[in-house]
Copies of this chain bind each other. A is one copy, B any other.
Amino acid sequence: MSRDDVVYHDFMSRWEPGAEGRLKRAALELYTERGFEQTTVAEIAARAGLTARTFFRYFADKREVLFAGQSTMYELIVNTVADAPESLSPIEAVEHTLLAMASFMEAMGEGARQRQNVISANAELRERELIKLASLTASIADALRSRGAADPVATLSAEAGVAVFKVAFERWVAQPRGAGLAALIKETFDELGTVIGSRE
């Protein structure tokens, strides 16, 4: 065994290759099978073929498995809004961003659906998601202001965009064999236009 092998072995014993993804998949499976409350960290680790100690190297607790990665995605959303082509109106910049994100979520496929179903089934998780979405809305409004949008246009565009996304995402989760997420986002934006346009 060379010195490099030893270093490599030591590294691998602490940072299992793919451990994070395996833990996430195991957690989503268990939350789906027996519910979030009824699942323990020990069970998640066992399902992933890892130890609880390894679990805690990646996640603070079993709730974090559902929300880790979200901040990265939210950051991406906010940056994409800020950098959207100047020719786009604020609501177009938001739509452009949500459509770009749709491909990511579709690539996550079943995992994104499972996650949403787990969150919907638990009041505490729903509240946490709500708070995260409100902070995303505020950050999108900030990004729109950074592109020169004034208020209330910035806030209204962010609120409308997040509302459309929530509705489109719920429809997508509910119909695994239905339209793609991007198509649903476009359609829901159109429907919001019709709804608002019905004011006399």
Residues on A facing B (Cβ under 8 Å): 89-92, 95, 127, 130-131, 134, 152-153, 155-157, 159-160, 163-164, 166-167, 171, 188-189, 191-200
Contact = CB atoms under 8 A, between A and B. Distances in A.
A91 B191 CA distance: 12
B189 A193 contact: no
Contacts of A159: 159, 163, 166-167
B153 A195 contact: yes
A194 B91 CA distance: 10
A160 B171 CA distance: 18
B92 A195 contact: no
A95 B196 CA distance: 11
A131 B126 CA distance: 9
Contact of A199 (B95, B130, B131, B199): B95
Given A92-B200, A167-B155, A195 B160 contact: yes
A156 B195 contact: yes
Contacts of A189: 196, 199
Contact of A192 (B95, B134, B160, B171): B160
Contacts of A166: 159
Contacts of A157: 195
B152 A188 contact: yes
A89 B167 contact: no
B152 A199 contact: no
A169 B152 CA distance: 12
A91 B196 contact: yes
Q: Which of A163, A171, A195 has the most CB of B within 10 A?
A: A195
